[in-house]
Chain A
Amino acid sequence: MRAAVIVFPGSNCDRDVFVTLQQTPGVEPFYVWHKQADFDKADLMVLPGGFSFGDYLRCGAMAAQSPVMKEVVKRARAGVPTVGICNGFQVLCEAGLLPGVLMRNANLKFVCRDVHLRVENPQTVFTSRYEGGQVIRIPVAHHDGNYFIEKEGLKALEDRGQIAFRYVTPAGAATPEANPNGSLADIAGVFNAEKTVLGLMPHPERLSDAALGGTDGKALFESLAGALS
């Protein structure tokens, strides 16, 4: 299975996610520069973390208007699985592929640490190698990860199983202390209604190799490799 890693000026996790994909059996990643209006066939599209366009105007707003995004949106709407990590999540929201928006962290601080996440829906191509309710440890590193959506939107997310991950304590409890950024309903990641697009603030690619201190992120890439190969 071939995975397109979309690179914007200011992306800085593109190589990490590329290497992680490369180390996942059955996955062959390739880079796509944001100016490319078209690119090779891909079974998966990955929007990496970073600070595309310096976070000017709003995080992800400029990247969402990049030439490559017309094609990404077209393919994602046609059902090609797409995952946005951190800044990639912000870009997917700005591009209208995911509902809601990522606002400035409630405490106004850049947060960079490991958090615990509860897997809310394991029945997707992204999460099938996790158990429902499983608690995993993944790092976050962001200034704007405070997820917001209006009331009806939140209800729709909950009703349709679109919440992918929630911030929780190591024991799996959702508490204000476990939430690093003030996200509504402790949301760390969401799917689109069809569960073919995932956006998440934590960085699974940063804990996908034992040499990095953990492998809890690995199952996400293995889920995709299993489902799409």
Chain B
Amino acid sequence: MKARVFVTLKPGVLDPQGKAIEHALGSLGFSGVEEVRQGKLIELDLTESDPAKAESEIKAMCEKLLANTVIENYRIELEG
């Protein structure tokens, strides 16, 4: 089973990289961008085929390593 984990900064945590991207977009002429927040996408290929078990396993991975929950949120997406 394949899964995708999105790791994003929590609201309110300053995102200097997002800000830099926002400024760069502005200077390229993309004037309609109000805010940019950047994060990470982690793709996993798992042997587990049970979605509930896979999700709880990935949750443990996120808490232990993939995200730093002091500043980051994570969202798990399972693909068939």
Contacts and interface: CB of A to CB of B under 8 A. Distances in A.
B14 A108 contact: no
Interface string B43-80: 00000000000000000000011101011000000000
A106 B14 contact: yes
Interface stretch (A25-33, A97-105, A129-137, A159-167): A97-105
Given A57-B65, A61-B65, A65-B65, A107 B70 contact: no
Interface string A23-59: 0000000000000000000000000000000000110
Interface of B, helix, strand, loop or mixed by DSSP:
helix
Given A57-B65, A61-B65, A65-B65, A101 B14 contact: no
B26 interface: no
Contacts of B71: 101, 103, 148
Contacts of B14: 103, 106, 146, 148, 182
A101 to B, nearest CB: 5
B68 A150 contact: no
A149 B71 CA distance: 8
Contact of A104 (B16, B66, B68): B16
B20 interface: yes
Interface of A, helix, strand, loop or mixed by DSSP:
loop
Interface residues of B, number: 11
Contacts of A107: 16
Contacts, number: 35
A222 interface: no
B70 A101 contact: yes
Contact of B68 (A58, A65, A108): A58
B20 A108 contact: yes
Contact of A150 (B16, B20, B66, B70): B70
Interface string A195-214: 00000000000000000000
Contacts of A103: 13-14, 16, 71
Nearest to B20: A108
A108 B66 CA distance: 22
A185 to B, nearest CB: 13
Interface string A55-72: 001100100010000000
Interface of A: 57-58, 61, 65, 94, 100-101, 103-108, 146, 148-150, 182
Interface of B: 13-14, 16-17, 20, 64-66, 68, 70-71
19 contacts: A57-B65, A58-B68, A61-B65, A61-B68, A94-B68, A103-B13, A103-B14, A103-B71, A104-B16, A104-B17, A107-B16, A108-B17, A108-B20, A146-B14, A146-B16, A148-B13, A148-B14, A148-B71, A182-B16
